[in-house]
């Protein structure tokens, strides 16, 4: 069993390594489902955390139907992160009709090689998961991250199990979204997955003593201004121990 932690800070990457996770997926903006992190964050993670590093390449939140300009940015980010020596690249592109954007996905996979590639939860927005599965196998993707096209893995276990059976080892199907210490064993037992993707951020109060509560840095739909979220090493340690029991 492989435990991948979904994180958005160098601190959380360090905690994931200390807690015993095998891999992290580094993103920015987890409230938007994850976007491309900064090069500085990736460099500092490589310096400080001894752990396999997957990096999200997604220029914005929202849908996965990207413009020509956005795709150009994705190509450049893939080149940059590959040169930086990351261990895996994570992306997903769709056509307006809900199918996998085969041409652009192929181009990014070829650009990423020899690094492995994860097609992220854009998969959950496809019109036909089995059609998308076969497309991604044909394109040479190494892994699919999915909640089973449901709000969380807990509701999507049946489809995830079917995808794993249909894939028959041709591609890894990694459940992610809503996995916790309480349901981890059940998710693995019901899906047969050999990799899991877990986000476990914990709120930490801001260090600010002076606070201007009349102003906030974002839209009306926002997180608490004076709160930050970091993945605790102890939480990762308990997740890793639970995964080891299954293994």
Percent helix, strand and coil across the chain, each to the nearest 5 = 40, 20, 40
CATH homologous superfamily for the domain 2-200+235-246: Copper homeostasis (CutC) domain (3.20.20.380)
Q: Which of 161, 105, 106, 154 is nearest to 129 (CA)?
A: 161
For the stretch 135-151, pLDDT in tens is 999 999 999 999 999 99
Backbone angles phi, psi at 222, to 5 degrees: -150, 165
What would the mean pLDDT of 149-157 be, rounded to a whole number? 95
- Confidence band of 23 (pLDDT split at 50, 70, 90): very high
Q: So what's the pLDDT on residue 209?
A: 79
Q: Is residue 221 over pLDDT 60?
A: no
What pLDDT was estimated at residue 226? 73
DSSP H helices, 6-152, are 10-19, 39-48, 68-84, 102-112, 129-139
- Whether the Cβ atoms of residue 55 and residue 91 lie closer than 8 Å to each other: no
CA 23/CA 197 separation, integer angstroms: 9
The per-residue pLDDT for range 200-217, each reduced to its tens digit, is 988 888 888 787 777 767
Tens of pLDDT along 62-80? 999 999 999 999 999 999 9
Mean pLDDT across the stretch 183-199? 96
Segments making up each domain of the chain, as ranges: 2-200+235-246
Q: Of all residues in the chain, what percent carry a pLDDT higher than 70?
A: 96
């Amino acid at each position: 069993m492989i435990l991948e932690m979904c994180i958005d800070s160098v601190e959380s990457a360090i905690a994931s390594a200390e807690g015993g996770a095998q891999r992290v997926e580094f993103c920015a903006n987890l409230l938007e489902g994850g976007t491309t992190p900064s090069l500085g964050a990736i460099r500092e993670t490589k310096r400080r955390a001894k752990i396999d590093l997957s990096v999200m390449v997604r220029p914005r939140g929202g849908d996965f139907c990207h413009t020509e300009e956005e795709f150009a940015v994705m190509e450049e980010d893939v080149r940059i992160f590959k040169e930086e020596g990351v261990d895996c690249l994570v992306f997903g592109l769709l056509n307006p009709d809900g199918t996998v954007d085969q041409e652009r996905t192929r181009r990014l996979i070829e650009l990423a090689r020899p690094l492995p590639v994860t097609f992220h939860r854009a998969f959950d927005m496809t019109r036909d998961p089995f059609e998308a599965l076969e497309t991604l196998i044909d394109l040479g993707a190494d892994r699919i991250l999915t909640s089973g096209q449901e709000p969380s893995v807990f509701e999507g276990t049946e489809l995830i199990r079917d995808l794993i059976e249909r894939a028959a080892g041709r591609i890894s199907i990694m459940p992610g979204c809503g996995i916790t210490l309480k349901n981890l064993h059940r998710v693995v037992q019901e899906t047969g997955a050999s990799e899991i993707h877990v986000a476990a951020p914990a709120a930490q109060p801001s260090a600010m003593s002076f606070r201007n509560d009349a102003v906030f840095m974002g839209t009306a739909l926002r997180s608490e201004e004076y709160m930050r979220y970091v993945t605790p090493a102890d939480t990762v340690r308990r997740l890793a121990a639970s995964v080891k029991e299954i293994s």
